[in-house]
Amino acid sequence: MKRRTFLSLATVISTLGLKGARAQAAAPTFTFPSIDGGDHDTGAWRGRPVLVVNTASLCGFAGQLRDMQALHEAYEARGLVVLAVPSDDFNQELETGKKVSEYCQMEYGITLPMTDILPVAKGEVHPFFAWVRQQTGFVPRWNFSKVLLGPDGQILGTWGSFTKPGGRQIMALVAPHLSA
């Protein structure tokens, strides 16, 4: 699959040290229903990079859940948020959020934030994925597609299933935003 990466105008301006250029409008915030009840609000994560990954327990790429948990453990204290978004858009997810949560905890030791099962590519997709599509044209073609948000909530990049969560392309964009 071909990888597409998008940088926000604010990131380019900051990286190049340009002055007087106009930055993008503030990114919206999104609320995701948590798999364990309650909500995850991206507004609460402003100031931190956020890696959003659509997951599926029965997918051949499900081993990436282990990679996502490892990133969570290694970099949460330095600011990185890794959010798993289970989806049955490709018919590879368990029947209920409860079963997904139990399976992911048992098989992969998942403690990172997870949403309830949500549509990400088909039908009435979650507003976050509709926004990503509108901003970048990116639509998950399969499970384990990734979207990286910068600390300002803007999209730094998007990747397909074959890019690992801790891959160098993703970490190169995450690293400048981690605290010491």
- Residues labelled catalytic: 59
Beta bridge partners of 158: 4, 147
Q: How many CB atoms lie within 10 A of CB 22?
A: 8
> Which residue type occupies 72?
H
Using the Cα atoms of residue 72, residue 151, residue 46 and residue 93 in order, give the sign of their dihedral. Answer: negative
Helix (H, G, I), strand (E, B) or coil at 52: strand
Are 177 and 152 in contact by the 8 Å Cβ rule? The answer is no
Q: DSSP state, 146?
A: E
| Burial grade of 162 (CB within 10 A; 0-12, 13-18, 19 or more) | middle
